[in-house]
Amino acid sequence: MAEFPYDIRNYRRTDFNDLVRLYRAAEALEPIGRPGSPQAIAEKLGRPNYSPETDLMVVARDADLVGFLDMVPERAIGRVIVDCWLRPEHRRKVMAPRLLDNATRRARELGAAVIHVNVREDNETAKSVLTGLGFHYVRCFLELRLDMSSLDPDEADRAAREFNFFRPGEEEKLAQFQNRSFAGSWGYNPNTPEMIKYRLSLGHRSPRDVVMAYEGDMLNGYCWTEVVKEGEGRIYMIGTDPDYRGQGLGRKLLLAGLSHLKSKGVKIVWLTVDSANETACALYNSVGFRRHTSYLWYEKAVV
């Protein structure tokens, strides 16, 4: 039998620069929205409840790193999100099952019931490899795009004047609120104040990017925006209190978030939405967001 010339091993700190190169190559060839700058990758490796030394593996051939296997645990919903990528010239039939064995072992250690993988709709290779490994398609997330020039600026600015921004110290309140507004949403892993703090501390984010809607002391909605690069922004999350839905609050919050992004020079806005979330899709469509591409989620049970 031919020798397997690859070493699939745990990530070490000294792999960082090679990992940055791999992430950039992966995103250039098969994008799913991975970070690209060393700072953003270092921040990703430092997130709470994740340890790169155990949750990230690399594929080495001699002294070169040729692939990675990232396993993000989401214990509260019993899943591990796997992102695996290999340089095309190192793709071999024997590789995928070996990588899956490693992911499955880690998922078992974490007590996860399922492994989820996210691929762009046009990535035929990944889809056929996943199917061959026993994964099945479970969900389609749409990537929507809005050109700010199609927005009514007066309506957006009027909406913005109705709300305030997040203030440090509101992490617990926002975490509880998010968990209430996203309860039951597919793939939503309940948030913690620690996660909110971490996410707000990322280099490209600021507490002022979160629009908060209060009635008295009661938080009843929020819209979390972010600037992703020069001229481009994202609606990262938006939610309203289940008891306040269908009264126009979501639309106003979204417009307020867009007005905030516009004030930061953003011209194109992105967001990701579950295609099965009809309410959110209708809301985004009514403001002018249009489908750009789709990401498909595949699932495999951990046995």
Interface pick for ligand COA out of 27, 277, 288, 299 (rule CB under 6 A)? 277
CA distance linking residue 77 with residue 107, whole number of Å: 12
Under the criterion CB under 6 A, does residue 279 sit at the interface with ligand COA?
Answer: yes
> 11 near 19, Cβ under 8 Å?
yes
Do strands 268-274 and 232-240 pair parallel, antiparallel, or not at all (unpaired)?
Answer: parallel
Stretch that binds ligand COA, among 78-86, 160-168, 280-288, 291-299 (CB under 6 A): 280-288
Stretch that binds ligand COA, among 48-56, 60-68, 115-123, 272-280 (CB under 6 A): 272-280
Under the criterion CB under 6 A, does residue 266 sit at the interface with ligand COA?
Answer: no
DSSP string, 25-43: HHHHHS-S----SHHHHHH
User: 118: which strand partners?
Assistant: 297
Interface pick for ligand COA out of 286, 290, 293, 301 (rule CB under 6 A)? 286
Interface pick for ligand COA out of 124, 154, 217, 278 (rule CB under 6 A)? 278
Under the criterion CB under 6 A, does residue 246 sit at the interface with ligand COA?
Answer: yes
Under the criterion CB under 6 A, does residue 273 sit at the interface with ligand COA?
Answer: yes
Judged on CB neighbours under 10 Å (0-12, 13-18, 19+), 161 is exposed
Q: Which residues, 6+ apart, have CB-to-CB distance to 123 below 8 Å?
A: 30
Tell me the two tokens of residue 19: 């990992």
User: 74: which strand partners?
Assistant: 79
CA distance linking residue 137 with residue 297, whole number of Å: 6
Contact code string over 173-192 relative to ligand COA, x by CB under 6 A: --------xx--x-------
- 3-class secondary-structure state, position 262: helix
> 270 near 288, Cβ under 8 Å?
no
Q: Which of residues 226-245 bind ligand COA (CB under 6 A)?
A: 238-240, 245
Under the criterion CB under 6 A, does residue 159 sit at the interface with ligand COA?
Answer: no
Under the criterion CB under 6 A, does residue 133 sit at the interface with ligand COA?
Answer: no
Total residues at the site for ligand COA (CB under 6 A)? 21
Nearer Cβ to ligand COA, position 6 or 224?
224
- 3-class secondary-structure state, position 252: helix
Interface pick for ligand COA out of 213, 249, 258, 261 (rule CB under 6 A)? 249
DSSP state of 200: H
Stretch that binds ligand COA, among 49-57, 71-79, 163-171, 276-284 (CB under 6 A): 276-284
Binding site for ligand COA (CB under 6 A): 181-182, 185, 238-240, 245-251, 273, 277-280, 282-283, 286
